[in-house]
Amino acid sequence: MRIDFLKTFLEVVSAGSFLEAARKLKVTQATVSNHIASLEEYFGVKLFVRSRDGVTLTNEGKILNKRARQIFDLIDATKREITNSTKRLKGTIKIAASTIPGEHILPVLVGSFKKAYPEVDIEVEIGDTGVSLKKLVEGRVDFAATGSLFNNQNFFETKVIAKERLVVITPVNHELSGKKSLELSEVLNYPFVSREPSSGTRNEINKIFTEQHIDPNKLNIVLELGSTGSVITAVSEGIGISIISSIAAEKARAAGLLNIVEIKNARNWRELYLVRLKKPEYPEILEKFWSAVKTI
């Protein structure tokens, strides 16, 4: 039995006659008759009842009609699957990221995606949250990865990629370094090293103070810096204390650069986001990345 015999069989069923099937297949009527005869010999049954008005299926023919259609559906599905497996996704994805997601979260997500799609290039630009979201809005990047959204949620579609908490960091020999936790108001008593105003961390710190009914403007800010790494360096040098991501703080503490003090009675957990603009449709490469990203 051959696949083209089944194709001829289905055409006869559709056309209702050998002659009309031959015309559609652009073969002779004898060829159609030979294909059907071969099938009837293979199965050992009659498949059609012939009459002046054409042909109708026997009970056995109805069984073959059902199975033949399933066979061709399976062939089509197999072909699509093979085509998709050999189709290589190529292109470049541009991401603007603030410090914490850019340095600590995206490398894991990007590495996983690159294993599945090795020919896709991913460019990550590290800045602060404000700059990253601005680049996204201006269309200079495809995604932003940030620790805050400010008040622009209506423009964006977001996906949580990680959760973390904010903690107080102190120099190793600071008087607070022996404490396991402190009230947020105690931070006001010490020189404070801060991120710049457009930083997502700065925005989240302001939220925490406001929720605790403490004016964040009362912080004794002695230095503003443009990255979490520079804040860690300043604190380790004794310039002041600060509040930063627990992810970065834990690594710095492990290196002996500082100590960590937890914040009492405050909602100090925050979510880190992958952000894209709200659009009805995205190119396949960007949709694949968005779908692949999961919370870690």
Question: Measuring CA to CA, which residue among 78, 259, 242, 107 is closest to residue 174?
Answer: 259
* Domain membership flag for residue 241: yes
Across the range 207-217, mean pLDDT stands at: 94
| pLDDT value, residue 272 | 93
Domain for residue 281, yes or no? Answer: no
Specify if 287 maps to a domain.
Answer: no
Q: Quick one: pLDDT at residue 119?
A: 87
Residue 286 maps to a domain: no
Secondary structure E strands in the chain:
48-51, 54-57, 91-98, 120-127, 143-146, 156-170, 181-182, 191-195, 220-225, 242-245, 259-263, 269-277
**Residue 296 pLDDT exceeds 80:** no
57, 47 contact by CB (below 8 A): yes
In this structure, the answer to whether residues 65 and 104 fall within a common structural domain is no
**Residue 211 identity (one-letter amino acid):** E
pLDDT score for 144 = 96
Cβ atoms 140, 127 nearer than 8 A:
no
Q: Which tokens is 56 given?
A: 């109708």
- pLDDT at position 18 is 94
Same domain? For 171 and 212 the reply is yes
What whole-number distance in Å separates Cα of residue 144 and Cα of residue 136? 6
Q: How confident is the model at residue 87 (pLDDT cuts 50, 70, 90)?
A: low
Is pLDDT at 7 greater than 90 in this prediction?
A: yes
Q: Which domain holds residue 7?
A: 3-85
User: What is the number of structural domains in the chain?
Assistant: 2
The pLDDT of 176-193, averaged and rounded, is 95
Is the predicted pLDDT of residue 86 greater than 70, yes or no? no
Say whether pLDDT at 188 is over 90.
yes
Give percent above pLDDT 70 in the chain. 98
pLDDT tops 70 at residue 273: yes
Q: Which residue has the higher pLDDT, 240 or 268?
A: 240
pTM above 0.75, yes or no: no
Q: Residue 73: inside a domain, yes or no?
A: yes
Query: Would residue 225 count as lying in a domain?
Result: yes
Please tell me whether residues 176 and 69 are part of one structural domain: no
Same domain, 36 and 162: no
Residue 292 falls inside a structural domain: no
Phi, psi dihedral angles at 256 (to 5 degrees):
80, 20
How far is the C-alpha of 160 from the C-alpha of 179, rounded, in Å? 32
Do 143 and 81 share a structural domain? no
Cα–Cα distances (Å) from 260 to 136, 193, 208, in that order, read: 34, 15, 18
Q: Is the pLDDT of residue 55 over 70?
A: yes
235 class by beta-carbon count within 10 Å (0-12 exposed, 13-18 middle, 19+ buried): buried
In a domain? residue 293: no
Residue 152: band (very low, low, confident or very high) from pLDDT cuts 50, 70, 90: low
Burial of 81 (0-12, 13-18, 19+ CB in 10 A): exposed
Examine the pLDDT at 22 and tell me if it is beyond 80: yes
Model confidence at 150, pLDDT cuts 50, 70, 90, reads confident
Q: What 3-state DSSP class applies to 135?
A: helix
Q: How many CB atoms lie within 10 A of CB 237?
A: 11
In whole angstroms, what is the distance from residue 276 CA to residue 129 CA?
Answer: 13
CATH number for the domain harbouring residue 105: 3.40.190.290
- Place 90 in a pLDDT band, splitting at 50, 70 and 90: confident
| CATH code for the domain in which residue 76 is found | 1.10.10.10
Closest C-alpha among 133, 255, 288, 262 to residue 208: 262
Same structural domain for residues 126 and 50? Answer: no
Cα–Cα distance, 231 to 237 (Å, whole number): 10
Q: How confident is the model at residue 34 (pLDDT cuts 50, 70, 90)?
A: very high
230 in the same domain as 148: yes
Least confident of 44-53, 81-90, 272-281: 81-90
Domain boundary among 85, 118, 146: 85
Confidence at residue 80, expressed as pLDDT on a 0 to 100 scale? 82
> What distance in Å separates the CA atoms of residue 259 and residue 176, rounded to the nearest whole number?
9
